[in-house]
């Protein structure tokens, strides 16, 4: 059986449009299935405002004689949704949000959302270049990852922003030969500013003074052409990507496909919204029943505060009584280990007083499943004011982790 597989190489907003496992320029894999963005009927199209803002910024920069910087062409706008559509692969679209912004430290975190995948990226600006230093394929949780250790490196944009400027963006896996049986190789991705002052029209409007960046995959025909507008960011990507066919796990053919991704709308005052399950004790062991909560996260928002607000609003009478006054002091997430330390206030153990062992165990497991699902961790250690959880019925050891339901850890 011959199977076709796109080996599309992409940057940023193009990353979701992939039918099967592919690798981007940093070598991360993405899942099978064409991805399309989930609807949000609260989003209203405001292209005229976004175009006006971009035009005003560009005009001011030109009139003032200011030298453009990378951050003029790649701004990080808080509580703003950027929605992209595509041509060349039906049903694919995505929305980008900024989760955290630390402009004083020149670090930002954003998420790229599609129905079957949520990708998290951390970027930094230093010495005139914008680099992506951390990426995660399935960021189903909200947590500030801007200060974690880098797990990759990719130079997105680099100054000076002049025609002919060239830099190495990173490396990627690609085919340099179409001969049957050939293996993918690691190739360099070279970026070049191929034009400046471009006028680009997308469904969101017309943008002036755009920067054209061409990323070429050395030894292949694969490339992407990206257009960045001042005050807006990436407005269009045109990708010429590899499509490989396999038989018995071996390469039998190599073709190329063209995919265009365009900015469709920018919606301000739109924080990221997501759903999470809050579990309650009945049948906690082996499959807790739960209720779904809609959580809103503004850029830089306090996730502990959002969790506590939802925790205090149980519809289940038993869980509402047990969680009365209970608050999550601090959540410490260790992504690489798949572990979460969740420290609660002393009302947690006080409210458990008088319960039987079975009742308390069920309630504690329900809480563990809830907080684990909220932060996307399969293992959770529940502590109380920094000390191990301890009551008349249950005393946990230091660093004792509970396994959350698999459905809870994979929540969203």
Residue extents of the structural domains in the chain: 2-267, 273-409
Rounded percentage of the chain residues whose pLDDT exceeds 90: 65
Which pLDDT band, with edges at 50, 70 and 90, does 40 fall under? very low
Average pLDDT of the residues in 72-76: 97
Distances in whole angstroms, Cα of residue 148 to Cα of each of 1, 134, 370: 43, 8, 24
Which pLDDT band, with edges at 50, 70 and 90, does 285 fall under? very low
Query: What residues contact 371, with CB distance under 8 A and at least 6 apart?
Result: 307, 328, 331, 340, 342, 380, 382
Q: Using an 8 Å Cβ cutoff, are 311 and 278 in contact?
A: yes
H or E element at residue 48:
helix 47-63
- pLDDT, residue 87, reads 82
Query: What is the pTM assigned to this prediction?
Result: 0.80
- pLDDT, residue 402, reads 94
C-alpha 322/C-alpha 262 separation (Å) is 49
C-alpha 58/C-alpha 157 separation (Å) is 18
Which pLDDT band, with edges at 50, 70 and 90, does 282 fall under? low
Does the pLDDT value for residue 50 go beyond 70?
Answer: no
């Amino acid at each position: 059986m011959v199977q076709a597989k796109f080996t599309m190489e992409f940057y940023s907003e193009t990353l979701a449009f992939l039918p099967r496992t592919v690798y981007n320029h940093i070598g991360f894999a993405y899942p099978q299935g064409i991805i399309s963005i989930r609807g949000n009927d609260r989003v209203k199209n405001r292209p005229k405002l976004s175009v006006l803002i971009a035009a005003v910024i560009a005009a001011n920069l030109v009139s003032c004689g200011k030298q453009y910087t990378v951050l003029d062409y790649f701004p990080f706008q808080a509580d703003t949704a950027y929605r992209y559509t595509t041509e060349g692969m039906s049903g694919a679209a995505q929305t980008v949000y900024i989760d955290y912004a630390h402009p004083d430290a020149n670090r930002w975190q954003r998420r790229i959302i599609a129905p079957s995948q949520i990708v998290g990226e951390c970027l930094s600006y230093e010495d005139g270049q914008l680099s992506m230093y951390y990426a995660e394929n399935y960021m189903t949780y909200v947590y500030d990852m801007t200060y974690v250790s880098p797990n990759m490196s990719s130079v997105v944009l680099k100054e000076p922003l002049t025609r002919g400027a060239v830099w190495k963006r990173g490396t990627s896996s690609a085919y340099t030969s179409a001969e049957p049986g050939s293996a993918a190789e690691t190739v360099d991705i070279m970026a070049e500013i191929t034009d400046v002052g471009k006028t680009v029209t997308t469904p969101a409007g017309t943008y002036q003074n755009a920067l054209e960046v061409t990323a070429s995959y050395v030894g292949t025909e694969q490339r992407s052409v990206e257009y960045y507008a001042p005050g807006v960011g990436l407005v269009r990507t045109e990708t010429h990507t590899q499509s490989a066919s396999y038989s018995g796990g071996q390469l039998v053919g190599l073709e190329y496909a063209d995919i265009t991704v365009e900015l469709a709308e920018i919606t301000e005052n739109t924080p990221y919204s997501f759903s999470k399950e809050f579990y309650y004790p009945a049948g906690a062991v082996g499959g807790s029943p739960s209720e779904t909560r809609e959580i809103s996260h503004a850029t830089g928002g306090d996730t502990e505060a959002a969790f506590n607000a939802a925790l205090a609003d149980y519809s289940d009478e038993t869980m509402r009584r047990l969680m009365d006054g209970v608050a999550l002091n601090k959540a410490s997430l260790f992504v690489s280990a798949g572990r979460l330390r969740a420290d609660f206030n002393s009302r947690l153990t006080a409210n458990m007083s008088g319960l039987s062992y079975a009742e308390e165990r069920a309630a504690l497991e329900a809480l563990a499943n809830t907080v684990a699902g909220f932060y996307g961790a399969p293992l959770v250690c529940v502590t109380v004011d920094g000390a191990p959880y301890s009551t008349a019925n249950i005393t946990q050891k230091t660093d004792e982790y509970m396994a959350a339901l698999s459905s809870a850890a994979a929540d969203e």
